[in-house]
C-alpha cells in the first residue's frame, strides 16, 4: 500500500468526522471510514462497489463464503448482496482506514464501450472477489481523495478521475469480471434488474415469475443464475432485504416492531419476530435498542 494513499485518507478523515466515523465526500457514492478498534460483524445490503482497505483489515461473510482483505487490496462487489461486514484489524495507534466507491453503472458502461480492446466476460461465479490494488489504481485513489479537499473542483475533475479508475480496473486482471456489471445482456446485468425490482418493492410479495420476467429469463434459468451469483435463492434474498429494511425502519425512523413488520410486507408480527431473530441472532426490539446505542457502523 502506498504511503501517500494512507496519508491523504488519514488527513481527510481527521478533518471530516475524525476516528470511529464515516466521512462523507462531495460525491454521494464515495465514503471514507476510520475505526480505532475491531468491530463485530454487522449485516447490511451491499451495492456493486469497490471497497478499499488502506490500513488494517476487513472481512465480509456471505451466505456460505467469507472474504478477508487487508491494506493494499479491495473487495469488488459486482452485484448487490446482503452480508456481514466486520473490521478485523484496527488499533488506536494504527486505525482501520478504508474507502467505498459505489459503481456508476452508466459511466462504467461508457468506459467499457470506448475501450479498443474490451475485456472478455469471465466465467460466471459469485459476484464478489478480492483484488490487489495496482499502482495505477492507487494513483487514481490518491487523486480522488485529494480532489475532495477542494470541493469546487469536484464537478469539473471527478468524472475524468473516476473514468480513469474504471479504465484501470477494466484493464486489470479481473476486468472480465468487472465488465459483466455494465455489459448489457450479461447474466449479472439481468439479475441486477431483478434485484432492482426487489429493492423497489421490498414490502410487496413478488413471484418468481415476475422476477424472471424482469431479468428477461425463463424461471428455471433465472433461478440457476441468481443462485450462482448471490449464493441464495431469489426468495431467500427478498426475505433478507425485507428484514434489513425493517431493521432500518426501527433504528432510523423509530418504527415499532409491529409497524416495521407490516411495512415490509409481513401479515404476522410473530412470524416477523421469528424470522428476524433467526437472521440477526436477537429479537427485533432488543436489536434495535442495541443498534441505537452504537456509533455509526462501518
Exposed, middle or buried: residue 136 (CB in 10 Å: 0-12, 13-18, 19+)? middle
User: What CA–CA distance (Å, rounded) separates 172 from 161?
Assistant: 17
Three-class SS state of 130: strand
- Per cent of the chain over pLDDT 90 is 85
* Cross-strand partners of 186: none
Q: What is residue 50's predicted lDDT score, i.e. its pLDDT?
A: 97
pLDDT band at 124 (very low <50, low <70, confident <90, very high): confident
Q: What is the pLDDT of residue 64?
A: 78
Asked if residue 292 has pLDDT above 80, the reply is yes
The SS3 call for residue 77 is: strand
Nearest to 5 by CA among 143, 142, 164, 168: 142
Pick the closest to residue 229 from 65, 43, 29, 44 (CA basis). Answer: 65
Q: Which residues of 250-281 are buried (b: 16+ CB within 10 A; e: fewer)?
A: bbeeebebeebbbbbbbeebeebbebbeebbe
**Res 297: pLDDT:** 63
pLDDT of 267-291, one tens digit each?
A: 999 999 999 999 999 999 999 998 8
**pLDDT at residue 26 greater than cutoff 90:** yes
Residue 215 has pLDDT above 80, yes or no: yes
Q: What's the pLDDT at 291?
A: 87
To the nearest 10 degrees (0 to 180), the angle between helices 175-182 and 105-114 is 120
| 172 pLDDT higher than 90 | yes
pLDDT cut 70: percent of the chain above it: 99
Domains parsed from the chain with CATH numbers: 3-182 (2.60.120.280), 187-292 (1.10.10.60)
Structure confidence at residue 133 as a pLDDT band (50, 70, 90): very high
- Average pLDDT of the residues in 178-207: 91
Q: CA-to-CA distance for 197 and 210, rounded, in angstroms?
A: 9
- Residue the block writes with cell 433504528: 251
Query: What is the rounded average pLDDT of the residues 94-110?
Result: 96
Q: How far is CA 31 from CA 17, 24, 28, 230, 296, in A?
A: 11, 5, 8, 24, 13
What's the pLDDT score for residue 185? 85
Amino acid at each position: 500500500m502506498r504511503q501517500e494513499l494512507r496519508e491523504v485518507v488519514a488527513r481527510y478523515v481527521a478533518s471530516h468526522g475524525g476516528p470511529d466515523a464515516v466521512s462523507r465526500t462531495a460525491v454521494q457514492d464515495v465514503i471514507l471510514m476510520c475505526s480505532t478498534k475491531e468491530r463485530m460483524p454487522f449485516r447490511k445490503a451491499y451495492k456493486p462497489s469497490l471497497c478499499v482497505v488502506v490500513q488494517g483489515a476487513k472481512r465480509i461473510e456471505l451466505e456460505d463464503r467469507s472474504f478477508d482483505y487487508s491494506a493494499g487490496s479491495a473487495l469488488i462487489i459486482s452485484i448487490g448482496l446482503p452480508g456481514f461486514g466486520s473490521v478485523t484489524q484496527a488499533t488506536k495507534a494504527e486505525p482501520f482506514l478504508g474507502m467505498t466507491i459505489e459503481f456508476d453503472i452508466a459511466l462504467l458502461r461508457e468506459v467499457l464501450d470506448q475501450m479498443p480492446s474490451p475485456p472478455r466476460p469471465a466465467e460466471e461465479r459469485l459476484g464478489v472477489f478480492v483484488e490487489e490494488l495496482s499502482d495505477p489504481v492507487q494513483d487514481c485513489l490518491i487523486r480522488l481523495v485529494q480532489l475532495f479537499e477542494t470541493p469546487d473542483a469536484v464537478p469539473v475533475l471527478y468524472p475524468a478521475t473516476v473514468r480513469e479508475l474504471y479504465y484501470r480496473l477494466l484493464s486489470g486482471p479481473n476486468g472480465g469480471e468487472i465488465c459483466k456489471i455494465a455489459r448489457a445482456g450479461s447474466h449479472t446485468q439481468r439479475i441486477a434488474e431483478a434485484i432492482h425490482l426487489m429493492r423497489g418493492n421490498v414490502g410487496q410479495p413478488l413471484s418468481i415469475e415476475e422476477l424472471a420476467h424482469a431479468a428477461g429469463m425463463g424461471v428455471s434459468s433465472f433461478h440457476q443464475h441468481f443462485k450462482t451469483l448471490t449464493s441464495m435463492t431469489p426468495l431467500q434474498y427478498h426475505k433478507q432485504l425485507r428484514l434489513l429494511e425493517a431493521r432500518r425502519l426501527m433504528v432510523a425512523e423509530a418504527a415499532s416492531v409491529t409497524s416495521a413488520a407490516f411495512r415490509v410486507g409481513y401479515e404476522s408480527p410473530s412470524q416477523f419476530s421469528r424470522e428476524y431473530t433467526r437472521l440477526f441472532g436477537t429479537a427485533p426490539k432488543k436489536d434495535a435498542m442495541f443498534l441505537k446505542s452504537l456509533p455509526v457502523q462501518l
